[in-house]
Structure 1
Amino acid sequence: MIYTRWRLLGALCLLLLPTVLLAQTTLTPAQYQQDFDYFWTTVNENYCYFEKKQTDWAKVRTYYGAQLPGITTKAQFTRLLENALNELYDNHASLSTNLPDSRRLLPSGTDVWAQYQQGKPVVVAVRVGYGAERSGLRPGMELVAVNDVPLTQAVPPLLGHCLKIVDEAAREVALNQALAGTHDMLRKLTVRSQGRLLQLYPDKPTAQLENIRYAGLLESRQIGTVGYIKINNSLGDNRLMTAFDSTLDALAATTGLVLDLRETPGGGNSTVARAIMGRFITLEQGYQRHEFAAEEREFGIKRSTIELVSPRAKPYTRPLVVLVGRWTGSMAEGITVGFDAMRRATILGTEMARLNGAIESFRLPNAGFGFNIPTERLYRIGGLPRENFVPAEQVDLTALPGTDAELNKALELLKAAAKP
């Protein structure tokens, strides 16, 4: 669930291209200082995941505050705040503006995800239908360089300057920032596969990540007796509710359903989420727990709530499998843990985007643009942090390349469930 302090679509922080910084009247040094103080204080008082970060936020104020006297343009100030926010190494924290050479946002602005395995950067997931996949990149390949810069050199500059120690989470974020590149960068990836070095060009002939287009809010079809619905990153669009209802109605006679959330990195809103979940239950149930960190930090009194889902008309009661992956983010992660908590679906796939909490948006008083940070911790009803959820049914993406192993396994499960 996403809250805002100013009128902003909940999914804004994860849109592929935030509003590009517009030329405006130059601010005074005092105004830059005021905006920076507001930014630092707001994060200090409201960001709810400091306890699992190695960030020295007090040092952030000193380190970046010392750079303010050299700031004379909004572009420079934007870069300073980008770097300061990057100290949190949190993919759910972002500015609402960017520069042409800003880093693409994770996960919505990338098509490859990698982790360090035994000290080596290895591809663990590739976004289906995007340039990385078309160029030949596959899970299991070892990454060597980006644009001919070895990753051993490309990653360290993306790590924060104000970390107490560099933990694995910070290294993973920096690695994937290097792989995502900048908005104005055409990437060349050097990988090692089966002992050979390969040169791959995921942004040729066009930089697709800057021009994502979907055929519709969702896609659907019937596969034998099983229904299939894929959400196309539209969980923040209220029109999806009507489209989903009519699509599910058309598949009402199927023996089971696959709900594909593998292309939902851009967040959404809980109204749409509850509308979807409500079509699969017959009793009101809780789907996720919220904790409000700022109130606890200020008063020492813990506050938490459980959000409920109410059943809606014409419930679909047959077996349901939900497909998830690295591009299942934010509100889609909430839907996933909700279905799991309500024991209404089998969750199948890989780790999700692991985006922290619910975000809130704030606007700088002078510069006019905003920033978004997680201000509520989110949990599965049973107490597991939402970002730590892992599907019960996992799939090895390195097996049977060129096939949709997750969908095939889902169909097998539903076929077995339909047997008398």
Structure 2
Amino acid sequence: MAKAISPVLALFMVAPVYAAAQAPSAQTKGAETFDAGQAWQEFEDQFRLFYAYAQRSDIDVDAQLARSKALAVQAPDRDIFRKTLHQTALTFSDPHFIVGPFDETDYSIIPTGSDIATRYAGGRFHVADVRAGSAADKAGIRPGWQIVSADGIAMNVAAIRPYGQLLPEPTDRQRNYGAMLAVSGLRNQPRTLVFEVDGKSRTISLPASYDLGKSISAGPLLETDRNGDIGIIRINNALGNNDLIPAFDQAVAGLSDTRAMIIDLRNTPSGGNTEVARSIIGHFVTDTRSYQIHEIPSLEREFTVPRRFIEQVKPRNPQYQGPLVVLGGRWTGSMGEGLVIGLDAAAGAYTISSDMADLLGALSNINLEKSGARMDLGTETLFHVNGTPREDYIADMPLESADRDASGSDPAMRSALEYLGRELDGS
């Protein structure tokens, strides 16, 4: 029987950068007889009970599971079976839904292991954004460039390779998700991408996309800066590190003499936990405020009794009373997304963001004992307090790209400084 972490406990889990580092289970190497049929049934039962986003309007879930089952039950061993489950998860275009353990034939986990966001339209693939400070950014890759190939494979083929034989007719969303995986490359391996820019071909070689994440992990939890009377706090993918709580306290105290503040969440692809998120929001509220709504579909599926609750935050010192702007983007993931909508809902922050990473729901981990695989998936649906699903949230100032624009400048920070300049001039 599969062992699932309680969905409620999952609220306090760190999101998927750590899942991406799953180590192979001893069971995957065991000598016991492997029954692919039983292993599939275990996977499907757990998926249908716990995955909060199992009912989808963009894909035929039952048809996809049927295609996957037809291949999975023929798997001669756990490794091939696990690969089929992994590819099945990818078809849902949800970075929170992954199946490991992983090996070097798997693609990098996005958004943590990515530095280029893609956009598919009209049969072509283009760069939608470039992660600030990444190798792709330093190589001069910019939004708007057409992506021709990834590692020698034409993009129309490269974009469906991550799915193996499971997607005979991919949707545009699935093509784009596959393209994101393709340009991110295989795990811990360098990449060569070909672009068309102003009618000319450009070939650019890039290191493994995880290299940036490793350097960020070795650096400070956050950085502070000032622009005149405006304080700036940028969080460096540390929302799952409880040491960020006192570090953020100190940052707010150090900027207490400023008149306005920007919280930059564009570098939080791996999500985090609610303790850290609540501690951050607490600096910007003066009384108990609601910041996020949760639903747990598995309880209604199993017991016919729905569970829906509102998470709240209490004030925390030091308090900050000036205007607040929050920045998000395609590398704002999971708890980072929750913090954007939470600061909007509870603190009245002005939000500036492109589409965010769309990591669906609150993460849980399930060990699949019959195959030795581990499944990470969203077991709760999450909403803004106004009822908007987190993945459908649109910022007060929506942007096409948040990290870099076509000229290589920082569009979100520029917009934030201009907005706060107007606010302060009018105060």
**What TM-score, normalized by structure 1, do the two folds share?**
0.90
Is the 8 Å Cα contact of residues 158 and 174 (structure 1) preserved in structure 2?
A: yes
Aligned to 1:411: 417
What is the CA-CA distance between 1:26 and the residue it aligns to? 2.1
Residues 55 and 372 of structure 1: CA distance in aligned 2, closer, same or farther (over 3 Å) = farther
After TM superposition, give the deviation of residue 325 of structure 1 in Å. 0.5
Query: Greater shift after overlay, 369-378 or 273-282?
Result: 369-378
Does 1:211 find its partner at 2:218? no
The 3 A distance-change label for structure 1 pair 201 and 234 is same
Indicate the larger mover: 11-20 or 139-148.
11-20
| Deviation (angstroms), 1:287 | 0.8
In structure 2, distance between residues paired with 1:297 and 1:274: 30
The alpha-carbon distance between structure 1 residues 372 and 147, as it changes in their structure 2 partners (threshold 3 A), is same
Amino acid aligned to 1:87? T
1:13 aligned to 2:16?
yes
* Deviation per residue, 1:78-122 (Å, 9 max, x gap): 323212322323211113521122111111111000111333211
Is 1:344 the equivalent of 2:348? yes
Q: Is the 8 A contact 1:87 1:161 kept in 2?
A: no
Letter matched to residue 118 of structure 2: A
Aligned to 1:26: 30
Give the superposed CA RMSD.
2.6
Whichever residue aligns with residue 48 of structure 1, its letter is: A
Q: Which moved more, 1:147-156 or 1:136-145?
A: 147-156
1:226 matched to 2:244? The reply is no
The answer for the alignment partner of 1:389 in structure 2 is 393
Aligned pairs (5 A) from 1:55-66: 55-57=60-62, 60=65, 63-64=68-69, 66=71
1:330 equivalent among 324, 328, 334 = 334
Distance 2:213 2:40 in 1: 29
Query: For residues 306 and 72 of structure 2, what CA distance do their matches in structure 1 show?
Result: 37
How far 1:66 moved relative to its partner? 4.8
Contact 1:55 1:164 survives alignment (8 Å): no
Amino acid at match of 2:22: T
Say which of 137, 144, 153 aligns to 1:149. Answer: 153
Instruction: Tell me, in whole angstroms, the C-alpha distance in 2 between the residues paired with 1:290 and 1:303.
Output: 8
Contact kept, 8 Å, 1:252 with 1:316, in 2: the verdict is yes
What amino acid is aligned across from residue 87 of structure 2 in structure 1? N
Q: Mapping of 1:69-84 within 5 angstroms?
A: 69-72=74-77, 74-84=78-88
- Is 2:254 the counterpart of 1:250? yes
Partner of 1:266, secondary structure, is coil
SS in 1 for 2:216: coil
SS of equivalent to 1:98: coil
Structure 1 gap ranges (5+)? none
Contact 1:55–1:88 (CA under 8 A) maintained in structure 2: no
Q: Matched residue of 2:49: which SS?
A: helix
Using the aligned pairs only, state the percent identity: 29
- Structure 1 segments, 4+ long, off by >6 Å, are 6-9
Number of aligned positions between the proteins:
416
In the TM superposition, what is the alpha-carbon distance from 1:34 to its structure 2 partner? 4.2
User: Would the aligned equivalents of 1:14 and 1:92 in 2 still touch at CA under 8 Å?
Assistant: no
Which letter does structure 2 place at the counterpart of 1:117? A
CA–CA distance in structure 2, aligned partners of residues 324 and 184 of structure 1 = 26
Structure 1 CA distance, aligned partners of 2:247 and 2:395? Answer: 27
1:256 offset after TM fit, Å?
Answer: 0.7
Pairwise CA distance, 1:55: 3.9
- The AA in structure 1 aligned to 2:353 is G
Does residue 171 of structure 2 align to residue 138 of structure 1? no
The residue number in structure 1 matching 2:312 is 308
Q: How does 1:140-219 map to 2 (within 5 A)?
A: 140-159=144-163, 166-203=170-207, 208-209=211-212, 211-214=214-217, 215-219=219-223
**1:49-60 paired onto structure 2 within 5 Å:** 49-52=53-56, 53-57=58-62, 60=65
Aligned equivalents of 2:331, 2:178: Cα separation in 1: 17
Determine the C-alpha separation between the residues in 1 that align with 2:340 and 2:210: 31
Amino acid in structure 1 at the alignment position of 2:49: E
Q: State how far apart, in whole Å, the 1-side matches of 2:353 and 2:67 are.
A: 43
**Alignment partner for residue 374 of structure 2, among 352, 365, 370?**
370
1:19/1:159 CA distance change after superposition, 3 Å: closer
